[in-house]
Amino acid sequence: MRPARTSRLARGVTLVEMMVVLALAAIVVALAAPSIRELLAMQRLQSIHAGLVTDLQFARSEAVSRRRSLIFEVSGDAANSCYIVYADAFGGGNCDCKRDPGSACTGGFQEIRSVRFPRASHVSLAASSSQSNVAIFERDTGYSSPGDLRIDVTSNVRGALRVTINATGRISSCTPDGSVKQVARC
């Protein structure tokens, strides 16, 4: 008795066919990887920017609703970028967003919100104004002093966003290098 013959299609794929499919898949992944990396970096940049803007608006509204001036300070070190919102409750103390959230303030300062993210996330903050890296939101009006705080949120992969706080406490955003679509260029 003779064994039944199976057609070539019924036997599966050959090693050569499998290698061709794997080579094509590797080429597609190699071409897509840089785009995915840039996409993830841009999403991280926009997420940190959105959180920053939200916290600035929060600080301004809380100053008015609490009837208490609130301080917004940007800082960082080699390992982290950070910012903190705090109030001078009893006339003195020290706040540093580089400390763990919940223990960032000592003495008479009251921590309201503290955010810290590692520089390994490839995004960093840098603040500047005519006076320092601080904005103080006034308790009666929400106005900001010094009134020209600028915070740059920068990705070392791709993209940059800038947040500006004017004297009336108004918060605006732009992109200095035009890298973020749907955001006005500075």
Total domains, the chain: 1
Max Cα separation, the chain?
102
Domain membership of residue 9 (yes or no) is: no
Domain membership of residue 52 (yes or no) is: yes
Domain membership of residue 68 (yes or no) is: yes
DSSP the chain: -PPPP--TGGG---HHHHHHHHHHHHHHHHHHHHHHHHHHHHHHHHHHHHHHHHHHHHHHHHHHHHTS-EEEEEEE-SSEEEEEEEEEEEEEEEE-TTSPTTSSEEEEEEEEEEEEEEGGGSEEEEEE-SS-SEEEE-TTT--EESSEEEEEEEESSS-EEEEEEETT--EEEEBTTS-STTS-B-
Q: In this structure, what token pair is assigned to residue 114?
A: 């503290």
Domain membership of residue 180 (yes or no) is: no
Domain membership of residue 100 (yes or no) is: yes
What CATH number should be reported for the domain holding residue 134?
3.55.40.10
pTM for this model (two decimals): 0.80
Give the pLDDT confidence score for residue 183 in this predicted structure: 92
The amino acid at residue 113 is R
Residue 8's pLDDT band, with cuts at 50, 70 and 90, is: low
Residue range of the domain that includes 118: 14-174
Domain membership of residue 186 (yes or no) is: no
- pLDDT of 60 > 90? The answer is yes
- pLDDT of 95-124, one tens digit each? 999 999 889 998 889 999 999 999 888 999
Domain membership of residue 183 (yes or no) is: no
Burial of 31 per CB tally in 10 Å (0-12, 13-18, 19+): exposed
- pLDDT of 127-175, one tens digit each? 998 888 999 999 999 999 999 999 999 999 889 999 999 999 999 999 9
If we measure between CA atoms, which residue out of 73, 76, 42, 80 comes closest to residue 56?
73
Domain membership of residue 127 (yes or no) is: yes
**Residues 32-46: b if buried by 16+ CB within 10 A, e if exposed:** eeeeeeeeebbebbb
Q: Which residue bears the tokens 């009336």?
A: 168
Residue 28's pLDDT band, with cuts at 50, 70 and 90, is: confident
Q: Which of 63-77, 79-93, 126-140 has the lowest mean pLDDT?
A: 79-93
> What distance in Å separates the CA atoms of residue 124 and residue 142, rounded to the nearest whole number?
27
- pLDDT of 4 > 80? The answer is no
**Backbone φ and ψ of 102, nearest 5°:** 95, -20
